[in-house]
Chains A and B, each alone.
Chain A
Amino acid sequence: EDQVTQSPEALRLQEGESSSLNCSYTVSGLRGLFWYRQDPGKGPEFLFTLYSAGEEKEKERLKATLTKKESFLHITAPKPEDSATYLCAVQAGGVNNAGNMLTFGGGTRLMVKP
């Protein structure tokens, strides 16, 4: 069974204090790992897709990396507007996931104080 675990559940940072969010996964044949940002009362906003170990992607203050067992979302010099819940999801490949389902982690609630 595919599993995704995110840590920590909640993270409080001061503005400018860099940190990393972790997403550990077990999946039968990774097709892709996805990061989303979700603000309260809204749908998740797509951030990144990572397909293979060693891959990295960046967007503004965010950088996502991938190994064979986990992914990190690095936040450099965060601002209060980066406060949100960050969700990690994996998509397994193969015939058992012909529907292209995503398996989500529980999310990390990030709070950045000014």
Chain B
Amino acid sequence: GAVVSQHPSRVICKSGTSVKIECRSLDFQATTMFWYRQFPKQSLMLMATSNEGSKATYEQGVEKDKFLINHASLTLSTLTVTSAHPEDSSFYICSARHSHSYEQYFGPGTRLTVT
């Protein structure tokens, strides 16, 4: 149980285009989902927290207009990187918190490369 999927696992896009990443909790309902960014050999950096049916809460320094988050259902959250630039290239990981516990379960991550 507690499986989280992400799609796509890898994406390469051109500078100026937008990319959407999906995060799904496959076997549980997640009232809260989180989006992280991870640079090589560093720990996870929280970007935003999203609650189903409400606006996401962004961490300081994260541009909400650049990283659009939608949490339309209890099993799906999406992160759209708008007008991507090479500096947005990174490993993006989502997690989902089970409605009945405090644990967060992570997806496998999405490697974004902007050329």
Using CB atoms and an 8 Å cutoff, list the residues of chain A in contact with chain B.
Answer: 31-32, 34, 36, 41-46, 49, 87, 91, 99-102, 104-107
Contacts and interface: CB of A to CB of B under 8 A. Distances in A.
A84 B106 CA distance: 16
Interface residues of B, number: 26
B57 A99 contact: yes
| B contact face: mostly helix, strand, loop, or mixed | strand
B104 A99 contact: no
Contacts of B46: 101-102
Contact of A99 (B6, B49, B107): B49
Interface of B: 2, 4, 6, 32, 34, 42-44, 46, 49, 51, 57, 91, 93, 95, 97, 101-109, 111
A62 B111 CA distance: 29
Nearest to B2: A46
B63 to A, nearest CB: 19
A91 B103 CA distance: 9
A36 B111 CA distance: 20
12 contacts: A34-B104, A42-B108, A43-B95, A43-B106, A43-B108, A44-B93, A44-B95, A49-B101, A49-B103, A91-B102, A101-B46, A107-B43
